[in-house]
Structure 1
Amino acid sequence: MNLTISGHHLDVTPALREYVLTKLDRVTRHFDQVVDVNVLLTIDNQKEKDRRQKAEVTLHVKGRDIFVEHCHEDLYAAIDQLMDKLDRQVCRHKDRMQDHHHESAKRQVAAPL
């Protein structure tokens, strides 16, 4: 898994990097076929203070790219809620990728009674 954490108008401190890594562990625990992860942490110079800090993740898995973003007044809260969204999307993608075909009744071995 390739991981890129970058900041826009922000220095990515070791504490922020470690926080993002611990939150990403939850996602990779559910789905281990992650190829590439790009995390972008941004501080915008908007007038409204409550939506100033933004976190974005682009997750490349086999067959699809998953993009999630979230804005909040606190960067750590934005990362928390971002990872919640990402976790839901990864679980939904995993459910879709599972094989839902069942073996036919003729091919099944009868269980002894």
Structure 2
Amino acid sequence: MQINVKGHQVEVTTSLHDYAVSKFERVTRHFDHLNELAIVLGIEKLLHKAEATLLLSGKKLHADATATDMYAAIDALVDKVDVQVRKHKEKLTDHHADAVRAARYS
């Protein structure tokens, strides 16, 4: 998975970059088929804003989060993206396992 961290009118320090990348490694534990992740960090008035766009196989997910601290915004963003990825993975899962087992082993 390719992770791009950019700043919108904000300089992304190495500590912010490393923190974002390490936090988003949690998302890859749930779903392996992530192609690309773009993270944009910015400041709007007094709030720190973090946005993420995930490119999955044939699907694009987007989430954003705001907080008074950039690290807290990244944490909130990771939580939102994690929920979206788990929901997407659940939609891909076949829930008719009993019918499949019956057809396969009869």
Q: Unaligned 5+ residue runs, structure 2? A: none
The correspondence of residues 1-113 of structure 1 with structure 2, limited to 5 A, is 1-44=1-44, 46=45, 49=46, 52-102=47-97, 103=100, 105=102, 107-108=104-105
Structure label with greater radius of gyration: 1
TM-score, normalised with respect to structure 1: 0.85
In 2, Cα distance between equivalents of 1:92 and 1:105: 27
Which deviations, in whole Å up to 9, do the C-alpha atoms of 1:35-74 show, x marking residues without a partner? Answer: 0110000012x2xx3xx21000000101211100011111
SS of corresponding position for 1:32: coil
How far does residue 101 in structure 1 lie from its aligned partner after superposition? 3.3
User: What is the number of residues matched between the two proteins?
Assistant: 104
In 2, Cα distance between equivalents of 1:33 and 1:106: 29
How far does residue 106 in structure 1 lie from its aligned partner after superposition? 5.1
Q: Unaligned 5+ residue runs, structure 1? A: none
Which structure is higher in helix share? 2
Identity, in percent, stands at 40
Going from structure 1 to structure 2, the CA distance change for 1:100 and 1:42 (only over 3 Å counts) comes to same
Which deviations, in whole Å up to 9, do the C-alpha atoms of 1:61-90 show, x marking residues without a partner? Answer: 012111000111111000001100110110
Which deviations, in whole Å up to 9, do the C-alpha atoms of 1:13-50 show, x marking residues without a partner? Answer: 11001100110110011101000110000012x2xx3x
RMSD of Structure 2 on Structure 1 (CA): 1.4
TM-score, normalised with respect to structure 2: 0.90
